[in-house]
Amino acid sequence: MKFIHAADLHIDSPLLGLNAYEGAPAERIRGATRAALIALVDLALAERVDLVALAGDIYDGNWQDFKTGLFFREQMVRLARAGVRVFIAKGNHDAESVITKALPGVAGVHIFSSRKAECIELPEIGVAVHGRSFPEKAVVEDLLPGYSAPVPGRFNLGILHTSLAGNIEHPTYAPTTAAALCAKGYDYFALGHIHKREIVRESSPRIVYAGNLQGRHARETGSKGCELVVVEEGRIVSAEHVSLDVVRWHQIVLDATGVQTLEALASRFAQAAQAHADGARERLHAVRLLIEGESELAQREAEQPGTLAAAIQAATQELDGIEVWIEKVKIDLRSPIDRASAAERPDAVGDVIRLVDELQADEARLKAWMGEQLREMKNLPFGLLDADPAALDAEALRAALAEAESTLLAHLHSASQQGAGA
């Protein structure tokens, strides 16, 4: 006997704010919860499983219109046609009272009652399936005591949408405990509600949160999918997570310490993206990126906000064999030195900062001094070399000075660090 356990499908879950991102592959992301369900059914048919257990939150809430329900039903029909039995225990998001629209049922697909726990026996495959649906969004009582005793000689499978007590991250929904689940005498508990996959207990009974089928935003990261379980002579002989997500979310932290150019930043990001996409290269990867550390790029970003996000965007254009969409770039970079305290220093670093401060505060001196330097220097930033110093305005001179300071201080700083043996 072989079965699939999945939960928290949240089909047609709205993806808030998605349209706010330029270049967002909105349709693919919006359709991801549906595509993941199709992948689940494909897997069930390919693996010739006997049953599919769905532990609640099939839908994110009441259907906007009948299309959501018709889509899910169509997939259930595919399973029913192949003789795969389906058991559904509704959760808080798709509780009995939440979903007001209805469609004709599908023969072979059982939705557990919300009034009492039920036990359905399938003698042909030696299984007893136990479950109960949420009548309402909030269920404060423990539903487990209402579940019947295990049927002797059968593989007893319990389906339950629950927050296990002690899980303070989540509000309590039909709370029970792992100890109570163990005491029940079943063989497997297919749990739903927690979107991160979790093996609560390995065996006797095996207790698992399958996690959601498809991550819906940047906080639902990593592989998402279902559990594929094989039972022989009443015992679990194999149980594994199977990835079914079509869009995979990642939060990547990039340490840009020592990175001095946009090219180096792009290449460091490319490496990180490739590593995150490893083993799932055919998916669309949605990335929230944090760039941190100590780098001169902080100055670049300060001078021209958006530079680093654009550099990351540029890096995605050249990624080999993977498709990456950048959801957001957060920047938490420090300049290589703390300017305020460095200004107090009696050395060359302090000299530079004090000079720059004086020049920045006095436009006439700034123009005179910069004009003199520009005439003498051969390698200047911004292509200023071609410009007539007299024609440059104060803003351009200030930016050039700031960059010069940043570059100079970074070099002095790294030289002093090397000198200190750091």
| Residues in touch with Mn ion (CB under 5 A) | 8, 57
Closest to 103 (Cα-Cα) out of 69, 78, 80? 69
Closest to 216 (Cα-Cα) out of 4, 2, 9? 9
Residues 214, 6: contact at Cβ < 8 Å?
no
Residue nearest to Mn ion (CB): 57
CB of 58 to Mn ion, least distance (A): 9
Residue 41's H or E segment, with its range, is helix 32-46
CA 202/CA 195 separation, integer angstroms: 18
Compute φ and ψ for 44, nearest 5 degrees.
Answer: -60, -40
Q: Which CB, 15 or 122, lies closer to Mn ion?
A: 15
CA 46, chain centre distance (Å):
28
CB of 189 to Mn ion, least distance (A): 17
Q: Which CB, 227 or 296, lies closer to Mn ion?
A: 227
CB of 92 to Mn ion, least distance (A): 7
CA 422/CA 414 separation, integer angstroms: 9
Q: Which CB, 91 or 158, lies closer to Mn ion?
A: 91
Q: Which CB, 170 or 281, lies closer to Mn ion?
A: 170
Residue 267's H or E segment, with its range, is helix 262-277
- Both tokens of residue 300? 């670049």
Which residue in the block uniquely carries the two structure tokens 């410009």? 387
CA 192/CA 171 separation, integer angstroms: 14
Reduced to 3 states (helix: H, G, I; strand: E, B; else coil), residue 319 is coil
Q: Which CB, 220 or 301, lies closer to Mn ion?
A: 220
- Rounded to 5°, the CA angle 224-225-227 comes to 130
CA 88/CA 113 separation, integer angstroms: 10
CA 289/CA 37 separation, integer angstroms: 28
CB of 53 to Mn ion, least distance (A): 15
Q: Which CB, 8 or 296, lies closer to Mn ion?
A: 8
In the chain the first and final C-alpha atoms are separated, in Å, by 61
CA 162/CA 144 separation, integer angstroms: 9
Residues 365, 358: contact at Cβ < 8 Å?
yes
Compute φ and ψ for 128, nearest 5 degrees.
Answer: -120, 125
Residues 6, 84: contact at Cβ < 8 Å?
no
* Residue 29 falls in which region: left (phi positive, over 0), alpha (psi -120 to 50) or beta: alpha
